[in-house]
Structure 1
Amino acid sequence: MKANKICFITCVSDLVQYQMALNYMKALQIPEGYEIEWQQVFHAESMTAGYNQAMNRSDARIKVYLHQDVYILNPLFLHEIVSLFAEHPSLGMIGVVGSKSIPDNGIWWESRHKYGMVYESRVNGQTTLLNFNEVAEDYESVQAIDGLLMVTTVDLPWRKDLLKGWHFYDVSQSFEFVKAGYEVGVIKQLSPVCLHHCGVSDLTGYEENRRIFLKHYMNPPGSEPNHAAAMKWSFGQPVFAYERDDPNIVQRSAWVGHRYFAYDLIRNVKPRVVVELGTHMGLSFFSFCQAVVDCSTGTKCYAVDSWVGDSHTGGYEEAVYETVSRVAKAYYAPAAELLRGTFDEALSQFADQSVDVLHIDGYHTYEAAAHDFYTWLPKMADNGIVLFHDINVRIGNFGVYRLWEELRRQYPGLAFDQSHGLGVLFPKGCSELLQDMLLHEKELKMRYR
């Protein structure tokens, strides 16, 4: 494999259409030292067969699989994907749109957890911007991407043995990459990277391939009918009101990769009291509150923060507190209550053994995080859950990772790696539901990646 070589791979049945796509490809700026190759497969018997044929002919490390009707608009596209793969070695495949979860019917675009953007042009000449959830970081780790454009750095065989037509090859390959231990991601785009000139969809073989996909990936032989159904944990598909209100709540948050877990945590555990130590713009707090409102759990959620900032976060303008207060009242009253002050000052407002979920996200030194944990531990109820953010940050005087490593030797728990890491600790015993979470840690981590 040539590390500094990029190959564009396309199954071609319409030369005129492909020539237009090729013109866009040839207009892209080429990273210095890189070689470009084009592989066309004419009249392939299936997408998987065609892609396997071209993949085996090319020695390029980076391969760009795209439809003959996809036009890459961003001239810096190649520079950006080279940098992205270099900075994130766990990333095996990327696309421009995709989904964090796959519905039970196997159709990724019917999920409410879609990410990315693309221009779509139909036969009537109208061009539409499909703009899903925003990708806040370099990429959003997802379960599957759409096949209009798929870029890989690893050669995994396309499942020609399973899928004979032109549908579900993309979701299948996404699952194959995840199964092989690679991340699949939707890239961050300031404007759409490409335009998909869709034309008229040919649905020949669609339903047959959908059934094959479901049987092999969603319900493999010998497994439960639905892998997640074997768990007591259930997964929601929330729409977060705060996201529509103020995009800064998402864009300025380092917690964005955990909000679906936060929502489902409240949905499943149904705690009486949630306390958050360190709220900033409120993304984590409002994600808890969204579940309280949607699921009528009767939970009371308290956000404790001075809203002045510290040396890690920098100082906060008063507008930050005003925004959090306004959003809390507009969407989450009476579940949400803000307690402005220090964490120690708030202690006296909670009886011992009264807090079911505690989220610690304050000053991130080892000493500060340990102080917060041990002073609030008596407040935790039986089977209480403590969340620690930034357990993967190892720069400067950040020390939450040290505390997390110590506590994991004493108490059961699990951890999520994305968005700087989130530790989930069970220091007051494990209910049947919490034991089930530990048993299915791998599935939970895959669903919330």
Structure 2
Amino acid sequence: MKKSIVPLILLIAISVLAVFMPAIPTAINTEGMNSGDVAWMLAAAALVLLMTPGLAYFYGGMIDTKNIITTMLQSFVAMGVISVLWIVVGFSLAFGEDLGGMGLVGDPSTYFMFNRVLDAPLFGTIPLVLFAFFQLKFAIITPALITGTFAERIRFKSYILFIVLFSLFIYAPLAHWTWHSGGFLFKMGVLDFAGGTVVHMSAGFAALAASIYLRNKGETKSPISPANVPFVLLGTGLLWFGWFGFNAGSALSAGALAASAFATTNTASAAAGLAWILFDAARGKKPSAIGFCIGAVVGLVAITPAAGFVTIPSSLFIGTFAAIISNVVVHWKSKTSLEDTLDVFPCHGVGGAVGMLMTGLLATQAVNGANTTGNGLLIDGSTNLIVIHLIALVIVVAFSFVGSLILLKITDLISPLRVTAEEMKVGSDYSQHGENLFPADFSNLKEEVA
């Protein structure tokens, strides 16, 4: 049997299994449901999903013309792959009943194939199914973030296998640790409002692992000329817009906390975009469109864990210093052998870590007394929260980095990760998908391959 037919057979088998799952109840519990919260969370979930196409444009505009389609498709296909995986077992692993009472992972049988999700008690004031699909959008964009690291260099089928493994063995456990009431980081008192740890640090340090694993030792890295700067601007706009659902939606209700998170999100992004280009100017570089866009995204990353725990002035501080720190790391990385094509590690790994530490410094119960486990060090001098976050930082970095290295090796053994030199020459758009940004170039590409 050809290996290429196995995924199709697997999808067909899952689809057939779904037909025989128990029927949903005719009467769904609505007692305690708030229609305003439901409306806001439906909108927020849609906003978060929009971030993945935004990411596709953001990354696609930065890459060269012969790899635009494959780079963008890697984001889009994550919407399909992770959606199916989440229904089957992903949601259970992340938010199912704690397996063994150890706070490490959810019981995969809790909501297998979304059984019991529709007839479950409300999650606060919204249906559990709505919470599950809101969280699905986070699960989709996390592996998609990593694509900026191995843009141009990875086989498409190997990418699919890697994001499945990453979602099952890195993302779902981290979500359980941090956001499930039985998770051990949750019990420690770690604060992560919207995914600085679960989303950005996991993707960022997986990116670092990939940049080490896939680097070409002894070879000079070729600079990449962005194919379409307006694509980058469009992608940034979509990400910024969608991030309001990402952060403000994480309040899980339409109230003052959502409004506060909305405000801190915009403020941090604005400050970071300005800080990036001003820092570039101070170093003698011209302020660039791509610089502002990268800075704005770094600000969004850094405010994510803190959005519902800090004041609006604090978000200004977080965005500014996160951008400067990430900018310095980007400059440092350019002098190393690391092959992080689109700087995922400096922007998401470092940006997420900075945001996590800033939360330990600046979180205040005046903003979110109900969910804040303590004030930050710079608020009242308490060291408890920052110490907890430092410990969690080490755990998450080690787990995401080492775990991703292992998964990259497993993927490589099953399906070689790297494209060949010939495939890289003609570009992944043609070699992986038989498509090209400019169809007229097909004849030339065929000649090169021949």
- TM superposition score normalised by structure 1: 0.25
More strand by share: 1
Higher relative contact order (CA 8 A, sep 6+): 2
- TM superposition score normalised by structure 2: 0.25
- Rg larger for: 1
More helix by share: 2
